[in-house]
């Protein structure tokens, strides 16, 4: 999924993980300036992600915070400040 906030872009890949061998899910975070150019700043994954957790299956950006859901992970939501 994709979510956009003011100056922040998050793109999830819930069916991928480390080298896409373990399907835990990842979220890529970009900082954007004036909707013209974006620069990758971080790759996020669940700290204790389980195989097939689908981290990033839901995604929302508000101001400088990102809410990330992991459909099949116990305690399936995390909110991060960037």
What does the pLDDT read at residue 44? 86
Contact between residue 79 and residue 65 where contact means Cβ atoms under 8 Å apart: yes
Local confidence pLDDT in tens for the 82 residues of the chain: 888 888 889 999 888 755 666 677 889 999 988 767 889 999 888 766 566 778 888 899 988 888 888 876 555 555 556 5
pTM: predicted TM-score of the whole model, two decimal places: 0.76
């Amino acid at each position: 999924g994709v979510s956009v906030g003011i100056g922040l872009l998050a793109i999830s890949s819930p069916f991928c993980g480390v080298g896409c061998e373990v399907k835990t899910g990842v979220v890529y975070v970009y900082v954007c300036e004036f909707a013209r150019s974006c620069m990758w700043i971080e790759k996020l994954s669940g700290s204790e992600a389980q195989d097939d957790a689908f981290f990033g299956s839901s995604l929302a950006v508000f101001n400088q915070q990102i809410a990330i859901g992991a459909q099949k992970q116990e305690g399936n939501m995390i909110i991060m400040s960037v």
